[in-house]
Amino acid sequence: MIKLSEREKMSLGEPYNQFDPELIQRRKMMRKQLQEINQIDDNEERNQRFMALLGDAGDDFFVESDFKFDYGFNIHIGDHFYGNYDLTLLDTCPITIGDHCYFGPDVGLYTPVHPLDAEQRNADVEMGAPITIGNSCWFGGRVTVLPGVTLGDEVVVGAGSVVTKSFPDKVVIAGNPARVIKEL
């Protein structure tokens, strides 16, 4: 039987040890790098440095400062991406974003899952679930996307929405929890 590393277990959404030395080191490195990069005024230099920390990112990648994430290696972004100020991607599990996606300010995509059972939480059980965003999606400001959500192509998410479940292509969703308010 092959023994998985804590990083592999984490990325697969299995219970893992968040205090694993490799994971702690990566988070420390990311905090230090992001603190430095977010201070860079030159857009091209800042975004090239961000891209170097991600799993992959396509052409025409642009994120304003203050971009935050945990690991970077679980973030996969397609072509023509724009992220406004204060973008947070907690990438315990993979976050996959399609082509031509635009995120307003203060958007957060969160893959970590904490157990509902208090004993498990107290025992530091950590897990996650991936987030997948289709092509040509637009998120208003202060959108929150929770673990395990998949959004289809051409989804528009209204400002302030909390997306707790998956939605198909070509819908406008809004609210807390988000619900379909219009089909496109």
Active site residue ranges = 114
Contact 101, 120 (CB under 8 A): no
Kindly state the DSSP code that residue 16 receives in the 8-state scheme: B
Residue 182: CB atoms within 10 A of its CB come to 11
Pick from 96, 109, 111, 97: which is nearest to 16 by CA? Answer: 111
**Phi, psi (5° rounding) for residue 132?**
-130, 125
Question: For residue 86, is the peptide bond before it cis, meaning its omega torsion is within 30 degrees of 0?
Answer: no
CA separation for the pair 139, 127 (Å, rounded): 26
Contact 88, 74 (CB under 8 A): no
Kindly state the DSSP code that residue 54 receives in the 8-state scheme: S
Strands 127-128 and 112-113 turn out to be antiparallel
